[in-house]
Amino acid sequence: MRGNDQLDWTILRPGSLTDDSPTGKVQAGAEVEGSIPRGDVAALIATLLATGAGVGAQFEVVSGETPIAEAVAGL
């Protein structure tokens, strides 16, 4: 799929998923370790889709201190 120039793609690799309450804050990078609430993953995906950010990017994401909108803007 990555070789197809006709498609926009994003590869999001969350850490261990938890049922904890979402915090709205994440850490994204090439190699990060930890866990993340499912709600934060959902919010991150919604933000990526709404903004179009992250197209052509591959990254890992776990709970962190950066607000989701700020993390997405930095991709």
Query: What is the span of the domain harbouring residue 45?
Result: 27-73
Q: How far is CA 40 from CA 7, 45, 56, in A?
A: 25, 9, 21
Kindly state whether residue 21 falls inside one of the protein's structural domains.
Answer: no
**Who has greater pLDDT, 5 or 69?**
69
Q: What pTM value is reported for the model?
A: 0.89
Q: Tell me the pLDDT tens digit for each residue of 51-66.
A: 999 999 999 999 999 9
Kindly state whether residue 14 falls inside one of the protein's structural domains.
Answer: no
Q: Tell me the pLDDT tens digit for each residue of 20-45.
A: 999 999 999 999 999 999 999 999 99
**How much is the pLDDT for 1?**
55
Kindly state whether residue 13 falls inside one of the protein's structural domains.
Answer: no
Structural domains of the chain, count: 1
Kindly state whether residue 12 falls inside one of the protein's structural domains.
Answer: no
For the cut 90, the answer to whether the pLDDT of residue 7 exceeds it is: no
Beta strands in the chain (DSSP E): 10-14, 16-18, 25-29, 35-37, 57-63, 66-67
**Who has greater pLDDT, 3 or 32?**
32
